[in-house]
């Protein structure tokens, strides 16, 4: 987290950690804390003004489904952190995913996606897209050249990637995605947050986040966002106003507050996740660990090139299999059993029972998930306490 962002010509360059503090303050009227604009409607002085407000993309002072000042402050902050011209917030990460797909794809169009995906995104591509005549080709996002080989010139309108990906932290080459000509490229960068990687710097067209996770960071906001060139965001805005999955101002407020502390939270979470990953890798009851900090991780070198830190998520394989993994999760005393990620509390999930409960055994196998897989979202507790908890749970579950 030491890279500098590029400022305007002649301006001093600032670190992203600083931008997280300074960004998104246009609508605050001098208040240092973000201001909650709860209102749903604004009055206009004249009919001509109301016409202007009704038709201006991303207008913040007309009607809340079109835009809202608190939501706009969050969008402005994300755009700055991602090095984007503009951003549009949504009611959830899935609101953003569905908008991106249905905005840019029509019947007869073709979409390329990796199969290492968040379960909701995979379900949308597999179950909803066919109903709308959108054909989807799934590729291994970690295989060099796989996206390019699947693109059908003139027919592929969207390429959808996720990196690091659920739940095995697969890393996709952002330079390769950015070099694809033709389709719009979009990266779900939720696991990295805007602090650990900037897909747009690599030539990718759009970056998407579930801000419900690390960006808001305190389990108190359900929120999505997409950032990119103003022209693309205006297209998305036109669809989003009709889709109606607009972000709540309260959630945008919580996410803006979360952004202010994201750099320090992430630094701690990345460091603790690296400590836990190394300790688990050396543990006799663990068959394997996935975390980009580990030299054994297939995406280790790529992550080091394109990310500023390894991230707060890791997964590990309980060697004795599914029953032992379930016993291990249930024996945890400090770590809680819960889905989601990026918050202060360390959480354990059993992907086969939750996020990937609906995937076929074949799909799970190619994603590297088995019944023994445990995913950890590393929080802000002291690393020694987390390590002690994991060790006692592994002993309780496996005797090792």
Ligand X SMILES: *Cc1c(COP(=O)(O)O)cnc(C)c1O
Return residues touching ligand X (CB under 6 A): 92-94, 118, 120-121, 162, 166, 188, 190-191, 210, 212-213, 222, 224
**Dihedral sign computed on CA atoms, order 81, 83, 88, 92:** negative
Q: Nearest distance from residue 169's CB to ligand X, in Å?
A: 11
Cβ contact 342:213 at 8 Å: yes
Instruction: Report residue 211: phi and psi, to 5°.
Output: -75, -5
Residue of 61, 88, 198, 213 with catalytic role: 213
Nearer to ligand X, 225 or 320 (CB): 225
Q: Nearest distance from residue 352's CB to ligand X, in Å?
A: 17
**Dihedral sign computed on CA atoms, order 114, 115, 121, 122:** positive
d(CA 206, CA 187): 6
d(CA 353, CA 330): 13
Q: Nearest distance from residue 145's CB to ligand X, in Å?
A: 24
Q: Nearest distance from residue 228's CB to ligand X, in Å?
A: 17
Closest residue to ligand X, based on beta-carbon distance: 93
Helix axes 383-398, 322-331, angle to 10 degrees: 130
Nearer to ligand X, 68 or 355 (CB): 355
Residue of 109, 188, 251, 389 with catalytic role: 188
Nearer to ligand X, 105 or 207 (CB): 207
118 belongs to the catalytic site: yes
Q: Nearest distance from residue 191's CB to ligand X, in Å?
A: 6
Nearer to ligand X, 278 or 338 (CB): 338
213 belongs to the catalytic site: yes
Q: Nearest distance from residue 322's CB to ligand X, in Å?
A: 23
Taking alpha carbons only, the member of 28, 56, 35, 36 closest to residue 44 is: 56
Cβ contact 359:119 at 8 Å: yes
Q: Nearest distance from residue 382's CB to ligand X, in Å?
A: 25
Cβ contact 76:19 at 8 Å: no
Nearer to ligand X, 167 or 393 (CB): 167
Nearer to ligand X, 248 or 398 (CB): 248
Residue of 17, 109, 115, 118 with catalytic role: 118
User: What are the Cα distances from residue 296, in Å, to 116, 265, 282, 307, 383?
Assistant: 19, 26, 12, 17, 22
Beta strand 286-290 with 313-318 is antiparallel
- First-to-final CA distance of the chain: 37
65 belongs to the catalytic site: yes
Residue of 14, 25, 65, 336 with catalytic role: 65
Catalytic machinery residues: 65, 118, 188, 213
């Amino acid at each position: 987290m030491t890279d500098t962002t590029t400022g305007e010509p002649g301006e001093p360059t600032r670190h992203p950690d600083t931008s997280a503090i300074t960004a998104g303050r246009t609508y605050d009227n001098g208040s240092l804390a973000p201001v909650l604009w709860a209102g749903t409607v604004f009055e206009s002085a004249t009919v001509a003004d109301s016409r202007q407000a009704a038709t201006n993309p991303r207008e913040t002072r007309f009607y809340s489904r079109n835009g809202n000042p608190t939501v706009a402050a969050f969008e402005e902050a994300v755009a700055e952190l991602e090095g984007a011209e503009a951003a549009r917030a949504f009611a959830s990460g899935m609101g953003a995913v569905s908008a991106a797909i249905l905005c840019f794809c029509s019947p007869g169009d073709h979409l390329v996606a990796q199969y290492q995906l968040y379960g909701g995104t995979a379900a949308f591509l597999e179950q909803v897209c066919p109903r709308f005549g959108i054909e989807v080709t799934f590729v291994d996002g970690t295989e060099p050249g796989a996206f390019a080989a699947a693109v059908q010139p003139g027919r592929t309108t969207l390429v959808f990637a996720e990196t690091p990906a659920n739940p095995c932290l697969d890393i996709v080459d952002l330079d390769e995605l950015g070099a694809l000509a033709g389709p719009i490229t979009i990266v779900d960068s939720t696991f990295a947050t805007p602090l650990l990687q900037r897909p747009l710097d690599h030539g990718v067209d759009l970056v998407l986040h579930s801000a419900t996770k690390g960006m808001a960071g305190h389990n108190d906001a359900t929120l999505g966002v997409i950032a990119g060139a103003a022209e693309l965001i205006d297209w998305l805005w036109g669809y989003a106003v009709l889709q109606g999955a607009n972000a709540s101002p309260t959630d945008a407020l919580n996410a803006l507050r979360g952004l202010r502390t994201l750099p320090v939270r992430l630094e701690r979470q990345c460091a603790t996740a690296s400590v836990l990953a190394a300790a688990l890798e050396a543990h006799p009851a663990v068959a394997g660990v996935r975390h980009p900090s580990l030299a054994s991780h297939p995406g280790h070198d790529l992550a080091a090139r394109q990310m500023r830190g390894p991230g707060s998520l890791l997964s590990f394989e309980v060697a004795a299999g599914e029953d032992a993994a379930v016993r291990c999760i249930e024996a945890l005393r400090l770590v809680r059993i819960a889905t989601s990620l990026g918050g202060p509390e360390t959480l354990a999930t059993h992907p086969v029972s939750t996020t990937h409960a609906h995937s076929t055994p074949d799909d799970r196998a190619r994603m590297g998930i088995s019944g023994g897989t445990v995913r950890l979202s590393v929080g802000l507790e002291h690393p020694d306490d987390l390590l002690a908890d994991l060790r006692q749970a592994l002993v309780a579950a496996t005797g090792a």
